[in-house]
Amino acid sequence: MHKLVLIRHGESTWNLENRFTGWTDVDLTPTGIAQAAAAGRLLKEGGYEFDVAYTSVLTRAIRTLHLALDEMDRLWLPVVKHWRLNERHYGALQGLNKAETAKQYGDEQVLVWRRSYDTPPPPLEPNDPRSERGDPRYAKLTPSDVPLTECLKDTVARVMPLWNESMAPAILAGKRLVVSAHGNSIRALVKYLDNISDDDIVGLNIPNGIPLVYELDASLKPIRHYYLGDAAAAAAAAAAVASQGKG
């Protein structure tokens, strides 16, 4: 049996301000820092050991990983940082307040933009100052790999090559992985692992900073999954994420 641990980053400044974030590179709040350290403590108390860590190229996920590994005295672990684990790109919504957007366009429309499988938010213009196409961390990508918007289906499509070519082979080779990523890149992985339907994925929300453990069989099919720590608190935190898009 293999164990895979997924952690959504701790609360970010734009989570606190309830803004659509996507590929915008915001940092953790003091609460987010505490959540990340608490995640590390839960993993340490649970006796979890890892051989390699994966994260995105966004500061909030990288810092969450470092804070958690620091609690575990495992800052020395090898880390793979990859853009394919970045948050889903939120297009022209990046920077807007979620509740204000829901007041303007309606809760239903915002739910579609936030959670539908295949309807992307309106795209950024390529020359929009918010576009990440000029960001040096993406300089080696072809410009079309730097999205102007994404639906979850697009995020699944860009996460899966990393899973298939790097993460899954590492797990099959016996490596224990911890992944520090984002609400929607984790939803993409979970959708694939649990084979969740396009309709049911709308209801899945990932709380900040709580380790989500997947037990996988020899062919990487999930046996079961659970949040570490207080299950009721994890469920309440996921429900709070769901209601962030209400006007």
Ligand X SMILES: O=C(O)[C@@H](CO)OP(=O)(O)O
By rule CB under 6 A, what string of x and - marks binding of each residue 81-100 to ligand X?
A: ------x--x----------
Q: Which is nearer to ligand X, 84 or 114 (CB)?
A: 114
Q: Binding of ligand X at residue 184 (CB under 6 A)?
A: yes
Decide if residue 114 touches ligand X (CB under 6 A). Answer: yes
Q: Please answer whether residues 120 and 158 qualify as being in contact, where contact means their C-beta atoms are separated by less than 8 angstroms.
A: no
Number of residues that bind ligand X (CB under 6 A): 11
20 binds ligand X (CB under 6 A): yes
Give me the least distance between CB of 21 and ligand X, in Å please: 4
CB nearer ligand X, residue 40 or residue 91: 91
User: Is 131 part of any known ligand binding site?
Assistant: no
At 18, the amino acid letter reads: N
Q: Among the options 9, 71, 132, 150, which is catalytic?
A: 9
d(CA 183, CA 101) in angstroms, rounded, equals 19
**Cα–Cα dist 118/241, whole Å:** 20
| Residue 184 assigned to a binding site | yes
Cβ closest to ligand X, residue 22 vs residue 147:
22
208 appears as a binding residue in the annotation: no
Give the DSSP letter string of 51-119: SEEEE-SSHHHHHHHHHHHHHTT-TTS-EEE-GGGSPPP-GGGTTSBHHHHHHHH-HHHHHHHHH-SS-
CA dihedral sign of residues 131, 64, 194, 189: positive
Cβ atoms of residues 186 and 6 within 8 Å: yes
Nearer to ligand X, 114 or 216 (CB): 114
Partners of 181 in beta bridges: 8
Which one of 19-27, 57-65, 68-76, 220-228 is the stretch in contact with ligand X (CB under 6 A)? 19-27
Which among 17, 49, 66, 87 is annotated as catalytic? Answer: 87
3-state SS assignment for residue 228: coil
Respond yes or no: is residue 87 known to be catalytic: yes
Residue 60 binds to ligand X (criterion: CB under 6 A) = no
Among 10, 15, 85, 151, binds ligand X (CB under 6 A): 15
The residue number whose beta carbon is nearest to ligand X equals 21
Q: In what order do the strands lie in the sheet with 212-216?
A: 79-81, 52-55, 177-181, 2-8, 212-216, 222-227
Q: Does 50 bind ligand X (CB under 6 A)?
A: no
- Can you tell me the distance from the alpha carbon of 237 to that of 247, in angstroms, rounded to the nearest whole number? 19
Active site annotation includes 150: no
Active site residues: 9, 87
Binding-site positions for substrate: 8-15, 21-22, 60, 87-90, 98, 114-115, 183-184
Site residues, ligand X (CB under 6 A): 15, 20-22, 87, 90, 114, 183-184, 241, 245
